[in-house]
């Protein structure tokens, strides 16, 4: 009250500056009265509420009190504010129940599917690999490395069709990685009983696969033993395919698939070829590995143990006949002596492979072939050695002797060792006629043409088949 009076006095002084005597008297009078004024009573909020009730004022909300200004931060006034109005009240129970009824129900299987770890889908149980799980990359590294693959005894197959064909042939599945559960449906539960199933993200699978567009499912199988056939074929012919320096995985896969389809009894792969159990070779062969006997990483000394002396030897050359004859050079020094000497099929005792000085211990410049030390000079010599050249349609074979077809890489062709092996057994070059626009064919295409021609000749002179399909 006193402060308001002083304000009025100062405002009067500003408006009427020329009435100084009134100003002094007024200030003196009002200031003296304000000092003598004392509060009549000091009321608490409870006493004030009783006083207001006695006066007939029923306002319980301090914000509606006409006598006391409301201060929001005042704890005394705030405690009398109704809780509903302060915004701290709990929602009504009816609204909560209505909201709970609108929430969708979740089954136990759906809850398990959202949790990390083991997943269940009817009878299929699998585990979802989270980001950064090292098990996924480790098993792929082992399956792609030739050394680790041989050590662990595993192979990698990619694609639903290839996995199904392998399981049908009797291959043992150890691990199965997939991006969608639909890719696993249809696989026999018995085949998945002993395997571990993992679900991975598509982008993680794409980092490890060789294809641009991954199939979404990859299987890790147990590697069959060398020469083991999981599902033998009965309708075979005495044909052998020998792969020499075939380094392209796609060509090797095509050769294995073609040999199995043509009815060959075995495939022999020499040292220097790509590993027949490489993932790219397996993808190119489309499961043919399990239907034909395959012997890998052989030397020419070992190959002699699988080919009899009466077997007809052929070298399939993918080039034109003119290019094949061009590489022959009878005038090359030393060729005439080779042509004059009689072929020696059985090796002598001059180089014993069982001794400590075996081929593995010899340098790259020296190794043993048919009992002789093999040098680069002999390699070049045998490559220029002339041999009989015949068109594939003019081949002649009898069923009792059988046939062995040697195929080489597209870049270098067959090695000198392969040519010596054929020369000592009176072998011959087999060519395919081509027009002038083409100089060569793919090695898989050339081998397929010659193999089926050999099959046609062997079937034409073979005796009738028995009830079991054998000849």
Domain ranges of the chain: 119-222, 237-322+382-461
pTM: 0.67
Contact 124, 181 (CB under 8 A): yes
pLDDT tens for 158-175 read 999 999 999 999 999 999
Task: Write out pLDDT tens, residues 429-462.
Answer: 999 988 877 888 899 999 999 999 999 988 887 6
**Long-range contacts at 347-356 (CB < 8 A, ≥ 24 apart):** 347/301, 347/304, 347/371, 347/372, 353/299, 353/301
Distance CA 393, CA 449 (A): 10
**3-class DSSP state of 458:** helix
- Please name the residue that has the structure tokens 């392998």: 166
Q: Which residues contact 42 (CB under 8 A, 6 or more apart)?
A: none
CA atoms within 13 A on the CB side of 124: 22
Tens-place pLDDT, residues 408-418: 988 778 988 99
Q: Tell me the chain's radius of gyration from C-alpha atoms.
A: 48
Structural tokens at position 394: 């003019």
CA separation for the pair 207, 9 (Å, rounded) = 89
Q: Could you count the other beta carbons within 10 Å of the beta carbon of residue 20?
A: 10
The hierarchical CATH code for the domain 237-322+382-461 is: 3.40.1280.10
- For residue range 29-78, list pLDDT tens digits in order: 454 555 556 677 777 777 877 877 787 665 567 777 777 778 888 777 77
Alpha helices in 209-320 (DSSP H): 249-262, 279-285, 300-303
Q: Does domain 119-222 have CATH number 3.20.20.70?
A: no
């Amino acid at each position: 009250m006193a402060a308001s009076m002083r304000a009025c006095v100062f405002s009067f002084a500003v408006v009427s500056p020329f009435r100084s005597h009134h100003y002094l008297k007024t200030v003196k009078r009002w200031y003296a009265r304000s000092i003598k004024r004392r509060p009549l009573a000091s009321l608490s909020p409870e006493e004030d509420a009783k006083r207001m009730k006695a006066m007939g004022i029923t306002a319980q909300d301090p914000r509606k009190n006409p006598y006391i200004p409301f201060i929001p931060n005042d704890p005394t006034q705030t405690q009398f504010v109704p809780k509903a109005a302060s915004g701290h009240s709990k929602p009504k129970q009816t609204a909560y129940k209505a909201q709970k009824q609108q929430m969708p129900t979740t089954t136990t299987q759906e809850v398990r599917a959202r949790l990390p770890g083991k997943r269940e889908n009817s009878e299929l149980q699998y585990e979802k690999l989270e980001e950064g799980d090292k098990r996924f990359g480790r098993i792929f590294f082992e399956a792609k490395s030739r050394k680790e693959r041989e050590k662990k005894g595993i192979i990698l197959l990619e694609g639903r069709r290839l996995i199904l064909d392998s399981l049908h042939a009797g291959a043992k599945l150890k691990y199965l990685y997939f991006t969608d559960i639909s890719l696993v449906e249809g696989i026999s539960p018995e085949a998945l009983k002993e395997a571990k199933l993992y679900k991975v993200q598509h982008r993680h699978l794409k980092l490890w696969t060789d294809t641009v567009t991954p199939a979404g499912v990859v299987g890790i199988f147990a590697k069959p033993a060398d020469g083991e056939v999981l599902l033998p074929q009965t309708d075979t012919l005495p044909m052998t395919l020998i792969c020499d320096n075939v380094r392209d995985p796609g060509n090797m896969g095509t050769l294995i698939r073609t040999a199995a389809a043509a009815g060959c009894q075995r495939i022999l792969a020499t040292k220097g070829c790509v590993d027949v159990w490489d993932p790219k070779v397996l993808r190119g062969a489309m499961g043919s590995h399990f239907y034909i006997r395959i012997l890998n990483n052989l030397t020419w000394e070992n190959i002699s143990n699988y080919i009899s002396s009466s077997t007809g030897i052929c070298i399939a050359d993918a080039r034109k006949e003119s290019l094949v004859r061009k590489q022959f050079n009878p005038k090359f020094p030393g060729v005439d002596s080779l042509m004059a000497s009689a072929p020696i099929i059985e090796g002598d005792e001059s180089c014993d492979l069982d001794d400590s000085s075996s081929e593995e211990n010899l340098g790259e410049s020296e190794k043993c072939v048919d009992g002789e030390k093999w040098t680069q000079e002999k390699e070049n010599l045998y490559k220029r050695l002339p041999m009989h050249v015949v068109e594939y349609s003019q081949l002649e074979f009898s069923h009792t002797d059988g046939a062995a077809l040697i195929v080489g890489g597209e870049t270098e062709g067959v090695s000198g060792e392969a040519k010596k092996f054929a020369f000592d057994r009176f072998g011959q070059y087999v060519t395919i006629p081509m027009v002038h626009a083409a100089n060569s064919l793919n090695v898989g295409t050339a081998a397929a043409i010659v193999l089926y021609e050999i099959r046609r000749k062997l079937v034409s002179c073979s005796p009738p088949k028995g009830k079991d399909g054998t000849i």
